[in-house]
Every structure is written in structure tokens, then in C-alpha cells.
Amino acid sequence: AYVFTRAGTTWTLQQKLVAPDGVSGDQFGFRVAVAADIALVSAPKDDDAGVDSGSLYEFTRSGVTWTFSQKLTGPQASTGSEFGASLAMEGSRLLVGSDVSTPARSVFLFERNGSTWAEQAHWTAVNGAPDDYFGAVVSIRGDTAMVGASFDDPQGDMSGSAYIYEFLPVGDPCTFDTDCASIHCVDGVCCDSACGGSASDCQACLNSLTGAPEGVCAPILANVTCRASAGVCDLEEVCDGTSTACPSNALVAQGTECRPSAGPCDPAETCSGSSTTCPGDAKASPFTTCRIAAGPCDAPDNCDGSNDACPSDAKQPTTMVCRAAVGVCDTPDHCDGANDACPVDAKEPTTTLCRAAFGLCDKPEYCAGSNDCPSDDKEPLGTPCRPAAGACDLAETCNGFSSSCPTDQLLPAATECRPAAGDCDVAEACDGVDPQCPADSVVPAATVCRASVGACDLEETCDGTQPECPPDALAPVSTECRASAGPCDAAETCSGVDVGCPDDVMAPPQTECRASEGPCDPPELCDGANPGCPDDAKSPTSNVCRAAEGPCDAEETCDGIVAACPPDEKLPAATECRPAASDCDTAEVCDGMSDSCPEDEAPLACDSQEAGCGCDTVGRAPQAPPWGGCLIAGVVGLLRRRRSPSSARMPPPASRSALNREKFDRRRCSRSRSASG
């Protein structure tokens, strides 16, 4: 590894670093990182903890000289782990990638304290795979770290991803020191310092204990217990609200009774002032006088060293009081008249109340066969003394030595007090102030509680009032679920039974998908396989689109381009539409405007007895030479034609008969000449 320094814009080699124990193949210098006077160089193929287990070399700078200071190996280094495959350092934090570790690649976070690097976290990819290359590249800046996984597949094969880790600020909830930017997780929050670190000191990081901002180490409020009593002769210590240290452990004063006497031969025990426990129950020594002989009915009586009571003694007459009552539970005793000693000391019945209870955790005392009321007894440890007033209130129990019930305590804030009753219900949590669980609430209306699983499945949403998600509903029958993709593709609709859209179905073959727009445009039909309508095609030019409506009307055919039939055309004027039926009949011709042929003229017979060759007498047979009359008729016809304008192509209707006769006469005359030779 090479170290360069910059002066202005010039970089100069300062020193070349080499591994003090390097061997061939270690790949020393594979990754480098430098911060202040510390440089780290990785050798991922180093074999200290197994083949290719990897390691880091630390160098420190003094003046202009870099000196090897220590070698680091991975906390889980093993064969093939390649510790140091990636490297990033800022300040006292260090990220090291273990690129080929098994079973999955990972990244280690270290914190430098003095000259020691301590592991703070070990990260692996969430739902990662060994071939994702998690940790191939790492980076750290401030309270944010980033880890690359270049072969991850979230958007396709080897599309890659990056993981971002953030260190929590002071005051945020935490679980481990490594969760926090301060590296101190105290009392469940990120703290600005280690804050004592003892369970029995008087400093904390919780606002509820100190009144200071959350995450700021401060003295615990006054009267909060910092050291519980360890026994009947030990006092409970509480914080004073100013000092961070719990007061010194104090014991009950010497001579304080800790176990009352159970009889004349059982002395009461007292605290020693040096122990937390009451001394063992001891009896009066033998020969200790427990009943003097000067007693009314008895000689002196001595204890036997094992029993609490003095031996019985009977003396004085029954009318004499031999022992006055000496305690609230003692009754006056009379001699029995037979014994020296006063009869057995009689006591108040066990139903006699001798000391009332002075608190919820104090028992009422009843006489128990001795002179005095039994020692003040407390309810056993754990005896309920205040029931919970609500779901967020703790039930208090007696501590076994105090007459009073402990201070009323609530469940910590954020403690769940009512679980969610359905997909549209939210779990309620205590607020740390109110003993009751907050009012039951549900998620807002329109919140999705059941997603659609198909084109015909409706998405269910909460109604804002009920905890349960509405029943699963399908789209109504006939609801369109797949739009038509073309004229030959019918839109699919929901069945009302299935969540999915029915299969895509095309219109049957021969279904009309484009109507005809004219006689020369045939309708297009679906082919049963494709959603689109075939291309718009026109009729070929051979197709008749308008038939002739008479002998003088021409039939029209399509032009192959437009949908409409061409305009209606008539046969040209003078086109013969009816041939002559005889020598005396004329052929009719079209007039160029009408569909019909002109009306047929009756045939004429040639009359040879009249002057000229006229054929204007109906039905008369020829008697003269046929050509004579025809000659005259031809001359007459020629004169008529010369009188007509040269531009007129068709005579007016009034002259058609004459014209036809003229044509007939010319034909007749022609025939007559031919016949005559």
C-alpha cells in the first residue's frame, strides 16, 4: 500500500506500507482506509485463521512515519471467509466486509476505544443469498452506513441492491448499544452516556424516572427506591433527587425489636445493627427464674431452656389473685388452693383483638395465649393490597414489612392493553398516565383490509366503525373485466362466482365486423382467431353494381377503389335498341337520356299507285315497280336531312316517325334496285 500526501495541488509519495508477516497470495493492499493518524490495509487472502480467512493490518502515524501497530482477524474468521474484502472507516467506526463467508456474506461494525477495536454489530442481508455478494462494497458517513449487494436479484438477474443502516439519535428506543449513534443503549433508549451502568444507582436516561429529556442521563427523582430492603433489620434506600449515587446501605438501629417474646422463657430478639436479618430465636437459659417463689401461690420457678412458658404452679386459695393481668392479653389469675404457684397464666381468648390493623398491609393482632399482644405482623409478601383499577393499572401487593400499600403504579406507556379484534381494529396501548385502556378505535374508513386477488375480486376496505373486514365480495355479474381488443374481440365480463376474468374469446367466424358502405364495399367478417377486423376491401371491377334497367341503360361496374357505384350512364344516342321487324318497319334507336327504347312504330306497306315511292299507307301491298317509289322517298329524305342543323344528333320526338319512314324508304328502295337488276 502506498501513502501519498498533498501540498497544494501536488501529491507526493510519503511511504510504502508492507505487511510485516506477508506471504505470496495474501493480496495485502486489496482495500485501504485512512482516518486521521490511523490507516487500515486489508489482506483478504491471508491464512491466519484458515486458507483465505483474511485479515486487516493497522498502521499509526507519528509525524511523517507510519508504523505497524496491530493485526486484526475476523470475529468469525474461517477458511474462505475473506475478512477485509471491503473496507470503510470514519472517525472511530470501521466497516469490514467478509465477501465469501459462509453460510452468507456479511459485514462487521467495529468501534475503536483507545487502541482496541471492539465488534459492535454483525450484519447479514435480509432474505439474502450467498451469491448476492452482500458486503462486496461498504461505506460509512456520520450515522449512516451503506452495504452493497451487487449480485442481488430484486429487479432481475444480478440487478443489484444496497442496504442502508442508520444509528439512532439520543432518545430513540433501542435494544443494543450498536443501535445508537452514541453507542449507549440505557433503560431501553439511546442515551448520551453510559449513565452509571448499575441497577442500584440514582441516574437514568428515561424522562419518566428523571424528568429530564428522554435519552439525557440525569439524577433519578427523589423517593424512588434504589435499593430494596434485604431483611427485617435492613432499611430501604431511596434516591434524594440530586445525587446520582444511591445512599449507603443502612441497617435498623441496634436494639430494635425484630421478634417479640413468645413467653416468659422466650426473650424478644432485637437487631444487631450490623446484620440485615433478625438473630435466631433463642430461649432463656436454664435456671433463669421465670416465676419467683414470692409469688402469691408459688415458689420461684425457673425456665427449662427449651420452652417459652414458665412451668405451671398452683398455690393460694381460689379467692386470691395470685397474678394480676400484666398485658392486654393477660387475665388476672387466682390461686387454685392446692399449689404454691399461681395457676397457669390465663390469657384472653384468641378471638380477642389486641391490636387493630393500621394499614392495608398490616394484620390485626389477636391474643395468642401470652400476656402481650403478638408482635405487629404484616401481610405476607405478595398479598394483594390494591386491585388494578383498569387494564393499564398494576395491582399492588404488600412487601412483607410495611403497613402501607406501595404507591399506585401504572403499566409503562406503549404496553398493549387491548389486542386488535380484527383486520380493521388497532391494538390499544397504555399511555402511562391513565389506569384505563384508551377507548377502542378502528382503522380509518377506506383502509384496505383484503386486497383483490383477481380481476373479478373486489378490494375490501374498512368501514371505520367495525373491527372486522367486510365479507369477501366479487364484482357483480356482467362487470367488464377485460376490454375488447378490437371489433372481433368481445369484452369479457365477470361471472359473479369466480375471482378471475373468463378466458379471452374471439367473435365467431363470419361475424360482421365492418358494415358495407355502398354497393361496391362488401362487409368484412371476423376470422375467429384475431381481435382485429380484416382490412377494408372494395369489390373488384368485374362486379356489376347497377344492372341495366332498360335497353337504353348501360350496366355499371365497381371501380375497385370507392364504395359507391359509379353514376348511372345511358347508352349513347342513336344506339339501335330495336331492329326493324319488316321491310316496312324502322329500327328504333336510344335517345341518350332514357332507359327505355322509343315506342315501336307500326310497319308501313308500299303504295305504288301514289305519286313517288312513299310507304306511308298502312297495310297496302306494292303494285308498281318497287324502286320508283323508293327513289322519290330517298330524294324527299335527303331534302329533310339538309334542312336539319348539322349539329343535331337526334331529331325531336315529333319527327321520329318521319325519320323512321325515311330510313325504311331508303332500305326499301335499295332492295328494289337490287331486285330489278
661 backbone φψ class: left, alpha, beta (φ>0; ψ -120 to 50)? alpha
What the block records as the C-alpha cell of 554 is 348501360
Average the pLDDT over 110-126 and give the result.
86
- Is pLDDT of 595 > 90? no
Q: What is the pLDDT of residue 333?
A: 80
Q: What is the pLDDT of residue 649?
A: 39
Q: What is the pLDDT of residues 557-594, one digit of tens each?
A: 998 889 899 998 889 988 999 998 888 888 999 998 99
Q: What is the pLDDT of residues 340-379, one digit of tens each?
A: 777 787 888 999 999 999 999 999 999 988 888 999 889 9
Q: What is the pLDDT of residue 668?
A: 46
Average the pLDDT over 305-321 and give the result.
81
Q: What is the pLDDT of residue 99?
A: 67
Q: What is the pLDDT of residue 655?
A: 41
- Is pLDDT of 203 > 60? yes
Closest to 139 (Cα-Cα) out of 183, 103, 109: 109
Q: What is the 3-state secondary structure (H, E, C) of 397-437?
A: ECCCCCCCCCCCCECCCCCEEECCCCCCECCEECCCCCCCC
Q: Is residue 111 part of a domain?
A: yes
Strand partners, 384: 397
- Is pLDDT of 676 > 50? no
Helix (H) or strand (E) holding 635: helix 626-643
Strand partners, 365: 355
Q: Is residue 140 part of a domain?
A: yes
Domain boundary among 135, 166, 197: 166
Domain boundary among 151, 166, 181: 166
Name the percent of the chain lying above pLDDT 90: 42
Average the pLDDT over 377-388 and give the result.
93
The number of angstroms, rounded, from the C-alpha of 542 to the middle of its chain's C-alpha atoms is 69
- Is pLDDT of 603 > 70? no
Q: What is the pLDDT of residue 370?
A: 84
**Banded model confidence at residue 302, pLDDT cuts 50, 70, 90:** confident
Closest to 227 (Cα-Cα) out of 197, 206, 199, 187: 199
**Banded model confidence at residue 8, pLDDT cuts 50, 70, 90:** very high
Q: Is residue 436 part of a domain?
A: no
Strand partners, 270: 257
Strand partners, 148: 137, 162
Q: What is the pLDDT of residues 621-674, one digit of tens each?
A: 444 444 444 333 333 343 334 333 333 334 444 444 444 444 444 444 444 444
What the block records as the C-alpha cell of 61 is 502515524
Q: What is the pLDDT of residue 104?
A: 57
Q: Is residue 632 part of a domain?
A: yes
What the block records as the C-alpha cell of 33 is 482506509
How many angstroms separate the CA atoms of 15 and 64, rounded? 9
Which residues constitute the domain of residue 625? Answer: 576-676
Q: What CATH number does the domain containing 20 carry?
A: 2.130.10.130
> For the chain, how far is it from start to end, CA to CA, in angstroms?
138
Q: What is the pLDDT of residue 433?
A: 92
**Banded model confidence at residue 70, pLDDT cuts 50, 70, 90:** very high
Domain boundary among 166, 186, 214: 166
Q: For 519, what's the count of Cα atoms within 13 Å in the CB-facing half-sphere?
A: 15
- Is pLDDT of 264 > 70? yes
Q: What is the pLDDT of residues 223-262, one digit of tens each?
A: 888 888 889 999 998 999 899 889 988 999 999 999 999 9
Lowest mean pLDDT of 104-118, 303-317, 455-469, 507-521, name the range. 303-317
Average the pLDDT over 422-443 and give the result.
93
Average the pLDDT over 63-84 and give the result.
91
CA distances from 154 to 98, 127, 512 (A): 22, 11, 48
What angle separates helix 656-676 from helix 626-643, to the nearest 10 degrees? 140
Q: If you ran DSSP here, which 8-state letter would residue 574 be given?
A: T
- Is pLDDT of 125 > 80? yes
- Is pLDDT of 427 > 70? yes
Q: Is residue 473 part of a domain?
A: no
Residue 170, classed as helix, strand or coil, is coil
Closest to 549 (Cα-Cα) out of 532, 531, 569, 529: 569
Instruction: Please enumerate in sequence order all residues whose Cβ is within 8 A of that of 198, keeping only pairs 6 or more positions apart, or say none.
Output: none
Instruction: Please enumerate in sequence order all residues whose Cβ is within 8 A of that of 584, keeping only pairs 6 or more positions apart, or say none.
Output: 603, 604, 605, 606, 615, 664, 668
| CA-based torsion, 658, 661, 667, 668: positive or negative | negative
Annotate 328-353 with b (16+ C-beta within 10 A) or e (fewer): bbbbebbbbeebbbbbebebbeeeee
Closest to 132 (Cα-Cα) out of 109, 94, 162: 162
The residue with cell 413467653 is 263
Q: Mean pLDDT across the chain, nearest whole number?
A: 84
Q: Is residue 233 part of a domain?
A: no
- Which range has highest mean pLDDT (134-138, 183-187, 394-398)? 394-398
Lowest mean pLDDT of 187-201, 247-261, 375-389, 470-484, name the range. 187-201
Q: Is residue 17 part of a domain?
A: yes
Number of domains in the chain: 2
Residue 518, classed as helix, strand or coil, is strand
Q: Is residue 225 part of a domain?
A: no
Q: 164: burial class by Cβ within 10 Å (0-12, 13-18, 19+)? A: exposed
Q: What is the pLDDT of residue 494?
A: 94
Q: 226: burial class by Cβ within 10 Å (0-12, 13-18, 19+)? A: buried
Q: What is the pLDDT of residues 133-179, one digit of tens each?
A: 888 899 999 889 999 988 888 888 888 888 888 888 888 898 887 78
Residue 371, classed as helix, strand or coil, is coil
Note the pTM of the prediction, 2 decimals.
0.35
Q: What is the 3-state secondary structure (H, E, C) of 29-78?
A: CCCEEEECCEEEEEECCCCCCCCCCEEEEEEEEECCEEEEEEEECCCCCC
Q: What is the pLDDT of residue 182?
A: 77
* Cis, bond preceding 103 (omega within 30 deg of 0): yes
Q: What is the pLDDT of residue 604?
A: 54
